[in-house]
């Protein structure tokens, strides 16, 4: 028995005083209405209605139960209406994690546009190069530069995110020769201080792959800071080309070892899977993905 359907049928019968009239209002067979009410009475173990050939009346317990049913159904209908209203005007909080440089150079302007379109949504940004735990840190959406391993996450690729090796002309004038990746051992390499993976740089050429341990006297925990250090002549940096675009265009940085290709680290927008993904999450993910691609904000 579907108790909510049975309650609705009971209310119809009680209000109309007739199984026949209730069936017309519900657009159902009279037998269906009768079976629902009988099943409800059996479930409750009480008689709700007195039946005779002329009319149907409420028992004393039926009168009390009618009030309860009307209250429950009224609250349920109000909740449905509110949910539908929220769907029409999405609302709620979104916890978004991404790197500071990605926020500043790409995503922040999009968020401003998104919130103008959906003013009842609130976005809380967590800016870090670290990968926060989607579940453990209660993150709704994350934008990550990585090869995804967590199969429980829903992911959409934003960019192939190719990396480029670069340094300032002023640094190269005084630095040792840099002809092959192995020469990086003699260079001041700028890396992320808290990420062990950044201490090894990988290069490939015609099927040959080299993993080069690197080190330097200057580290940072933000990618754009490393780029600024490199542009000031502090050393060699390995970063996504879109992060260094301005400095490469002005000549503050120059590309190095162009015949050797650092591997691309795909940039994904990810969120937790589940039977129901909140509308506000789907709207934000779609908005970012659509506008990044349409405006070519990141290399594909």
206-224 pLDDT, tens digit per residue, is 888 899 999 999 999 888 8
| C-beta neighbour count of 16 within 10 angstroms | 16
274, pLDDT greater than 80? no
102, pLDDT greater than 90? yes
Provide the whole-model pTM.
Answer: 0.66
Q: What is the mean pLDDT of residues 70-99?
A: 82
- Distance CA(51)–CA(297), nearest Å, equals 72
Q: How many helices (H) and strands (E) does the chain have?
A: 10, 14
What confidence category does residue 82 fall into, taking pLDDT thresholds of 50, 70 and 90? low
Burial call 265-278: b when 16+ CB within 10 Å, e when fewer: bbbbbbbbeeeeeb
Least confident segment among 18-27, 153-162, 268-277? 268-277
Q: Which residues contact 218 (CB under 8 A, 6 or more apart)?
A: 188, 190, 229, 234, 235
pLDDT of residue 74: 87
261 and 205 Cβ atoms separated by less than 8 Å: yes
- Distance CA(69)–CA(111), nearest Å, equals 45
pLDDT of residue 115: 96
Instruction: Please name the residue ranges forming H helices in 104-194.
Output: 108-117, 169-174
275, pLDDT greater than 70? no
What confidence category does residue 294 fall into, taking pLDDT thresholds of 50, 70 and 90? very high
Least confident segment among 36-45, 118-127, 273-282? 273-282
What confidence category does residue 290 fall into, taking pLDDT thresholds of 50, 70 and 90? very high
CA dihedral 221, 222, 226, 231 (to 10 degrees): -150
Report the percent of the chain where pLDDT is more than 90: 63
Report the percent of the chain where pLDDT is more than 70: 94
* Mean pLDDT for all residues in the chain: 89
Q: Is 190 helix (H, G, I), strand (E, B) or coil?
A: strand
Compute CA 175 distance to the chain's CA centroid, rounded to the nearest angstrom.
Answer: 44
Q: Which residues contact 180 (CB under 8 A, 6 or more apart)?
A: 257, 260
Instruction: Please name the residue ranges forming H helices in the chain.
Output: 3-16, 19-26, 30-44, 60-88, 100-102, 108-117, 169-174, 223-231, 245-250, 279-294
* Domains of the chain (ranges, CATH numbers): 3-88 (1.10.10.10), 92-141+274-294 (3.40.190.10), 163-255 (3.40.190.290)
């Amino acid at each position: 028995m579907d108790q909510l359907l049975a309650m609705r049928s009971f209310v119809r019968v009680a209000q109309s005083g007739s199984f026949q009239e209730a069936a017309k209002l519900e657009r159902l067979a009279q037998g269906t209405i009768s079976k629902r009410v009988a099943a409800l009475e059996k479930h409750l173990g009480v008689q709700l209605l007195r039946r005779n050939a002329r009319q149907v009346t409420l028992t004393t317990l039926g009168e009390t139960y009618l009030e309860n049913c009307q209250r429950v159904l009224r609250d349920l209908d109000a909740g449905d209406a509110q949910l539908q209203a929220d769907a029409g005007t999405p609302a709620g909080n979104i916890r978004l994690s991404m790197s500071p440089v990605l926020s500043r150079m790409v995503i922040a302007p999009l968020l401003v546009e998104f919130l103008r379109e959906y003013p009842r949504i609130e976005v809380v940004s967590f800016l870090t190069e670290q990968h926060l735990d989607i579940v453990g840190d209660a993150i709704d959406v994350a934008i990550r530069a990585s090869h995804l391993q967590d199969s429980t996450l829903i992911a959409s690729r934003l960019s192939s995110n190719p990396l480029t090796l670069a340094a300032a002309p002023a640094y190269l004038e005084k630095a040792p020769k840099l002809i092959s990746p192995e020469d990086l051992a003699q260079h001041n390499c700028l890396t992320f201080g808290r990420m062990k993976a950044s201490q090894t740089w990988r290069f490939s050429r015609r099927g040959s792959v080299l993993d080069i341990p690197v080190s330097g006297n200057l580290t940072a925990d933000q990618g754009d800071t490393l780029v600024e250090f490199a542009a000031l002549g502090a050393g060699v940096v390995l970063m996504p080309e879109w992060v260094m675009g301005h400095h490469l265009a002005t000549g503050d940085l120059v590309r190095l070892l162009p015949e050797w290709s650092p591997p691309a680290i795909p940039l994904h927008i990810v969120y937790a899977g589940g039977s129901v993904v909140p509308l506000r999450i789907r709207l934000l993910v779609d908005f970012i993905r659509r506008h990044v691609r349409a405006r070519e904000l990141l290399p594909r």
